[in-house]
Amino acid sequence: MASPGGNISPPDLGPKLVISGICGVVLLALYHSLTYEKPSKKDGEQKPGHLKSILVFCYSCFLKPHSAGSNDTQQAALESFYSTQADVYDTTRKTLLKGREDMLALVAAQLLAKAGKNERARQKKCIWVDVGGGTGWNIEAMSEFVNVPEFFSSVYLVDFSPSLCKVARERFARLGWTNVKVVCEDARKFRLEDYENGLDQGERRSSVTTSSYFNQRRPETGVADLLTMSYSLSMIPDYYSVIDSMVSLLSPDGLIGVVDFYAQSETDVKFRNYTGGSCGRHVNFFSRSFWRSWFDLDKVSLEPGRRDYLEYRFGSVLTANSRNYTLGAIPYYIWLGCHNRPFSSSSLPHEIIERIDAFATESPYILPANKQRVTSALTRAVERTAPEIRSKAFDAAIQNLSANLPLPSFFYQNHHWRIYYDDRLKKHTQFNDEYIYAFTWEDSRVDRELLKIGPDDVILAITSAGDNILSYATQRPARIHAIDLNPAQNHLLELKVASYTALPYQDFWNIFGEGKHADFRSLLITKLSPHLSSRAFQYWLNNAHTFTSPRSRGLYDTGGSKYAIRVFRWVSRIFNIRKAVEEVLSAASLEEQRKTWHSKIRPALLSRIVSGFVVSSEKFLWAALGVPRNQLAMIEADHAASQAVTTNAAKRTRAHAIWHYMVNTLDPVIEHTHITADNPYYLVCLQGKFSPRCHPDYLSRASHKVLSQPGAFDGLRIHTDELEEVIARITPGTLTVAVIMDSMDWFDQSISKGKEGSSTTNSSPAAGQQIRKLNRALKMGGKVLLRSAALTPWYIEQFKAHGFTGQRVGHRVPGRCIDRVNMYASCWVCTKVENLRPPTPVGDDQAGWNMILIR
């Protein structure tokens, strides 16, 4: 904590008398637990030892009476508090002020990422202003991430405490950093033009006449490339004016970084979409009350308004909410921001919004200049039948701009891969911040053969774990729309895309091939953070232990799918077949693999006990394998049809249906695919990681070489929403491929009645509605690739009734694989052969629709 300025008053002594007794007990414990350290010496100056530093800190904070004396000014009050502890400030704040290094690393990563993209930015040195910089600890600590004397042309430490500024000057004299200037001044009055040569003379504030001061107008933007506040915002009573002054200090492309305490409830930010995410932000009532009361004793305010106003005045780039568990889980946050309107961008704010909207909806960003009659008819048709072909990002941006609010944080990212979504909606929170799939259960090799993706393709696909999205990206299509309702699945894809962008192959392999990386947290902060959305960054910061903890089994033992893998481990222990699993993993041939499977593993894994009590459980099938109730019903229906002639009641139960499905899945895999050589999907289940010999396409060196190139993901858009919602907002006739996996199996199947009361074809209004929207979004000849747990799913007839042909391109029969996963009973390609008529075509509008859908 430091003292940037503001009308601070001395702390009250009364409440501290109560605390002093507690401190006495704490000090006695410290006396016995700490080893006394001899005073250290730097440049001949003696510094207090560790124990003495703690004693001085406790005396200054809890026992010493604070008074400004006769000189009742803010600066005098600060001196009363800091003068006795200035020399021990850095020693005593290491444990208390968590997150400072992370904040510095994050802002350094952002500055380096910007410089890397722009030749002019690489040549330009930055100006940094550390507001409330105190002893200068932050500035010296920044040297861990950049060369401070070379990277910054000027560094200004602004603080209002002479004692702390004295320590800072001694620090930089010792370091020999001549570009650092310590300014002992009220932060509200600090002007860069008073210290920087070369600024516009018209912006300088005259010190001669008072009248000229009142003629000054602070500029809308300044020249500081970086502003930081480290545990100082919570100490400023008049924080509004300081934050406002920082707006005019920051350059158009500048960055601001803040780390500080906070204590907010969920209701404080419930209706705000511009805060960068609400994950971990809520502090319960008892913690809020305690920490606010505790910090109030030292005039440190944890009221919500400080952070709220900061987020209101700037645009949020990254947000991280955390706890200092070393000292009782004190809540603190790290926040990175920028100007809430991109002043210096080559495009105006509305142009940026419209460009992002065009990429999300496949609308042409620049309208054709040709105003012929056909074009006019096309436009009128779109407006009539789809009056609002706008993305939800566009809707949110317009809503914020009209209310004079910052844009959602997605608009301030360095990459616009992730499309805006509201993380507070129940449809997103139902997943409890956990993805189901840590890896994708779709054979990318088969997809490549069936789709033959080219440079003109516009693909829409379900994200899952993102493996197939990345496989499509290696084939360089024009655009990929990745869609998933579960935010965490898209966080996983974002992490993979950011890792391609920022990491060398070996680090990439360790994270996603091995599923473990001891330095993941450091890489996340220093390399990956500039390429992640705020929500994805917060998610992976919270889950960094997945990759780093010695007790963790790694990435592939996470998500809902981990339950299936753990059940297999449990079965292998119960039936004592762990050595048999190792034999499969070391099998040099298919023959060895088959022998071990049939003699040792199959009798245990496919036993009726496991099938009846575990695998056939509806809860297990959903949590571990992502099999919903409707899909389970399709499996049971196919099994019932195959067992129609049998009189054995046991063979017509759900348990037997699941057992039969497992047999048809696993037996052919073992018989026809060599797991350690060419089946990464089962290899990762058995050993918890991939191998250099056997892995998905996206993990190869060749894929990394392609996808690590600049601009490799310019065509990627990641939507967090229902499939139908995204399709409905895509311009008609623009998609060429839709990969919907087994999502159609999730629809309810209903039976409609004919005129005579007899049953007709299966019909689901919801399924039919989605198929109509797919027809509308696809070009003529566009393909829908889908898989199903049924041999002939009921909804294929609906595709045929809505302008598609349906071709089964693979089906599973006993003893034969459909692909290396073999999890689905059939694979289909439905091709669009007919345009559905728009709801209300009138006159020339029909011609417009025909032009759209023929494309």
The string of DSSP letters for 571-608 reads HHHHTT-HHHHHHHHT-SSHHHHHHHIIIIIHHHHT-H
Pair 29, 130 in one domain: no
Residues contacting 699, CB < 8 A, separation 6+: 508, 509, 512, 513, 690
Measured distance CA(359)–CA(366) in Å, rounded: 12
- Between CA 157 and CA 164, with CA 161 as vertex, the angle to 5 degrees is 70
Q: Is 372 contained in some domain? A: no
Burial class for 204, CB neighbours closer than 10 Å (0-12, 13-18, 19+): middle
Give the HSE-up count for residue 371: Cα atoms under 13 Å, Cβ half-sphere: 0
Pair 103, 73 in one domain: no
Q: Is 711 contained in some domain? A: no
Q: Which of 687, 712, 734 is the endpoint of a domain? A: 687
Pair 82, 103 in one domain: no
pLDDT in tens, 71-116: 565 555 555 555 555 555 556 567 788 899 999 999 999 999 988 7
Pair 319, 221 in one domain: yes
Q: Is 339 helix (H, G, I), strand (E, B) or coil?
A: strand
Q: Is 540 contained in some domain? A: no
Pair 679, 727 in one domain: no
Pair 177, 308 in one domain: yes
Measured distance CA(764)–CA(587) in Å, rounded: 47
Residue segments in the chain with a per-residue pLDDT below the cut of 70: 1-93, 117-123, 198-219, 342-350, 365-388, 608-627, 644-652, 750-764, 839-855
Pair 161, 300 in one domain: yes
Q: Is 499 contained in some domain? A: no
**Tell me, what DSSP letter sits at residue 810?**
E
Q: Which of 323, 339, 355 is the endpoint of a domain? A: 339
Q: Is the pTM of this model over 0.75?
A: yes
Any idea of the CA torsion for 345, 350, 352, 357, to the nearest 10 degrees?
A: 180
Measured distance CA(418)–CA(533) in Å, rounded: 7
pLDDT in tens, 457-502: 999 999 999 999 999 999 999 999 999 999 999 999 999 999 999 9
Q: Is 828 contained in some domain? A: yes
Pair 101, 49 in one domain: no
Burial class for 715, CB neighbours closer than 10 Å (0-12, 13-18, 19+): middle
Q: Is 829 helix (H, G, I), strand (E, B) or coil?
A: strand
Q: Is 667 contained in some domain? A: yes
Q: Within its chain, how far is the Cα of 593 from the centroid?
A: 40
CATH number, domain of 801, equals 3.40.50
Number of domains in the chain: 4
Q: Which of 314, 339, 364 is the endpoint of a domain? A: 339
Pair 219, 288 in one domain: yes
pLDDT on residue 9: 39
Q: Residue 821 sits in which domain range?
A: 723-854
Pair 159, 80 in one domain: no
Q: Is 140 contained in some domain? A: yes
Pair 682, 819 in one domain: no
Pair 112, 185 in one domain: yes
133's tokens: 């910089």
Measured distance CA(173)–CA(153) in Å, rounded: 17
Q: Within its chain, how far is the Cα of 492 from the centroid?
A: 8
Helix (H) or strand (E) holding 449: helix 444-451
pLDDT on residue 94: 76
Q: Is 265 contained in some domain? A: yes
626's tokens: 């992502």
